[in-house]
Chains A and B, each alone.
Chain A
Amino acid sequence: MSNPDQTPAVAKTSLLKLDARTRKRNAAETRFKAYGMIAIGMGLLMLVILVFNIVSRGTGAFQQTFVTLEVELVAAKLDKKGNRNLDDIKKVSTFGYAPLLKDAFEAKVAVAGIDTGIKPKQMAAILSKSAAAQMRDFVIANPDMIGETVAFEFLASSRVDGYLKGRVSRDSIANDKKISPEQLDFVDQLVSEGSVTKRFNMSFITGSDASDARPESAGMGVSMIGSLIMMMVVLVLALPIGVAASIYLEEFAPKNWITDIIEVNISNLAAVPSIVFGILGLAVFINYMHLPNSAPLVGGLVLTLMTLPTIIISTRASLKSVPPSIRDAALGVGASKMQSVFHHVLPLAAPGILTGTIIGLAQALGETAPLLLIGMVGFIASNPPDSIAAGLMSPNSAMPAQIYEWAKRADPAFYERAWGGIIILLVFLVSMNTIAVILRRRFERRW
């Protein structure tokens, strides 16, 4: 101001021409944008690698090799007394059924004129161990069919299945005692003849776990029911308790140091590692309350504890986002505090609450660690429960626990099924999250 001569010097900098400092700042911004893009690109790349890995390894589990075989249900072997008494038929164990398979293969080879060079016992070894049980179940369900020749569709053994899927090759079985190249030749002949086929395997989605001797018959179905029952328990318990707790804390509770402590503790609980809830569940629900081991009810209770803080936090956030003017208006026309909450605030907060609940449920669905401690991991092959009460109390597994169990078994066929299980689990998680997003989009209100 005192020296007007210097003003033109400042005015020399043109707005159209960038000076060094501006260029530097702009360069920093460009660099930062590039970093951001690289970060997103890395994230996407990881996602693509993950999805590609899961899909390429897991899709095999949805296909299975089946062998069609006509078996004569020899009456002399299956019903020795010949009176078709169900109790007598049940006395014949699966070991009594196994020889029929050998005979069936021998007959088939003779009719089709296949030259095999292997013994009937080795021919029967290309079938799953579940074949005998499948026949026995059929005979018990249809005792009239004894003596007839019935066409069965059996699962092929895991090695044969792997051979058709390309997992097992003649080189890789060089030291394998469970299958020989001659057996693979036999399989090749059966494939060209049309009685060995590979097709979509529904029982992977609906079936139950199987022992190490027969990975080909293992399925996710029963553990899926276990997971669904647990989610039901979580929903029935965590939603009302969580919503009631947050309404009280948000709308009614006085703001003093006690509610502050509760608030801090709820936030802390949300960050507690899930295995801690598992130990708690073991101590309280199983050892103290004497609930049965491995029961989905216990799993559900443990996951409820884990999900509660998530639901409370999201419910409080959505209650908070309802503007105070709504409450004031309700109170102003004479509504009680409770009417204002239940008639006006809660309905407006509902979409947020639902979204939070669904995300909490999705998190609980993928949780494995607490289930390890309450016995939901191991060999739990049960038939689907016949009632909801039985579903709550009878031992079961859960989807992530089942995947964990398969991943550590010896036969590589289980490994494939573990990846297949991950696909099913991901489908569940993605669809739950999609529902949450849709709900939010549809019902969200902005003020």
Chain B
Amino acid sequence: MSLVKCTSSALAITALCASAATARDQIQVAGSSTVLPYASIVAEAFGENFDFPTPVVESGGSSAGLKRFCEGVGENTIDIANASRQIKSGEVEVCTSNGVTDFIEVRVGYDGIVFASDITGNTFEFTPSDWFLALSREISVDGKMVANPNTNWKQVNASFPDQPIQAFVPGTKHGTREVFEDKVILEGCEATGAFDLLKEANGGDKKAAEKECIALRTDGKSVDIDGDYTETLARIESNNDGIGVFGLAFYENNTDKLQVATMSGVVPSTQSISTGDYPVSRPLFFYVKKAHIGVIPGLKEFAEFFVAEEIAGPDGPLAEYGLVSDPELEATQEGVANETVIGSGS
């Protein structure tokens, strides 16, 4: 009989816990794996300096984070979504229909995307056109679109070393992929004249032409990496001809294994990105649910702490880790202090 008692009491405890599980005092953050290291640095410092518990930061990607963010308002939904891109209008609609009407958009800074290869391999000086010619599914040859014939970097650009094309690019669920497409492939598409050809073929439809521009080849020369940068690094270490796409902060932690390529003649660094000389960068955001401010203890303090000068400023720990600090940080601080929600003319 004791067995039955034991089981039933265990179940009762579980049920009790379930009913007691209402008051949450920990901030819950989820989203972009690019923002994760920065958010965890801030969370750690927040836990040290305030009497609030250390926030919990999960990764999973920008889209996954925003999806969870838009699930609704309440203690079992997350308070903050990290994103390495701005929220899309479709996502705002989902949010609104689920009751998440007011949220604050906070830009924390900028992140650079670098192209790096094995330290023992050849050095490269890229332009967006080179990447388009190497990785696009179709390129323009003598005024006609043909399936990409390039198999060696030497064919792409005569000044490049003799090395087979093998690129590891982020998979489509990553925010980084979008920046790579917009700032590199599309640029190259326009620069090589392929864009005009495609526009013509599509009857002047710009959107369709852009879509065809960013279609990458699928013959194995370009490999989508759905995992983290550690996976890209492992691929490059096992294949010295590989060239990978990384975040600046990741590269700076692995300078003994990777060498970085220049883009349009500029070496990526926090310096060259903040001045805008290095072209491939993107803003990083987080979104705060206004309805949770005042309900979840410390939420507003955390948001303010994140963008404080001593954290996100040019001398703060985030910049030290690889974030390019935002020159308009003051405006952001003001926006957070006033709880300016998105769409209210900020």
Contact = CB atoms under 8 A, between A and B. Distances in A.
Q: Do A and B associate with each other?
A: yes
A211 B43 contact: yes
Interface string A412-443: 10000000000000000000000000000000
B3 A213 contact: no
20 contacts: A94-B48, A129-B317, A171-B256, A175-B255, A176-B255, A178-B252, A213-B41, A213-B44, A213-B320, A237-B11, A241-B7, A244-B7, A290-B21, A291-B21, A292-B21, A379-B40, A395-B28, A408-B227, A408-B228, A408-B230
Given A244-B7, A290-B76, A293-B76, A212 B256 contact: no
A218 B317 CA distance: 17
B335 interface: no
B325 to A, nearest CB: 15
A145 interface: no
Contacts of A171: 256
Interface of A: 90, 93-95, 129, 133, 136, 168, 171-178, 210-214, 236-237, 240-241, 243-244, 286-287, 289-295, 297, 301, 375, 377-382, 389, 392-395, 407-412
A276 B26 CA distance: 28
Given A213-B41, A378-B36, A172 B56 contact: no
B48 A177 contact: no
Contacts of B47: 381
B301 interface: no
B37 A211 contact: yes
A173 B17 contact: no
A392 B47 CA distance: 20
A-B pairs, top 5 by smallest CB distance, nearest first, are A172-B256, A378-B58, A379-B40, A212-B37, A175-B255
Contact of B54 (A136, A287, A382): A382
Given A174-B256, A240-B6, A243-B3, 11 more contacts: A94-B49, A136-B48, A173-B255, A212-B37, A213-B41, A237-B10, A292-B21, A292-B76, A293-B28, A294-B58, A407-B230
Given A243-B3, A292-B76, A410-B253, A381 B229 contact: no
Interface residues of B, number: 53
B223 interface: no
Q: Which of A176, A212, A389, A393 has the most CB of B within 10 A?
A: A212
A95 B78 CA distance: 29
Interface string B323-336: 00000000000000
Interface in B170-217: none
Contacts, number: 142
A377 B53 CA distance: 18
B162 interface: no
A379 B253 CA distance: 19
Contacts of A210: 44
B56 A379 contact: yes
A162 to B, nearest CB: 10
Nearest to A217: B44
B24 interface: yes
Contacts of A291: 17-18, 21
B218 interface: no
A174 B28 CA distance: 39
B44 A95 contact: no
Nearest to B76: A290
Q: Which of B17, B45, B255, B310 has the most CB of A within 10 A?
A: B17
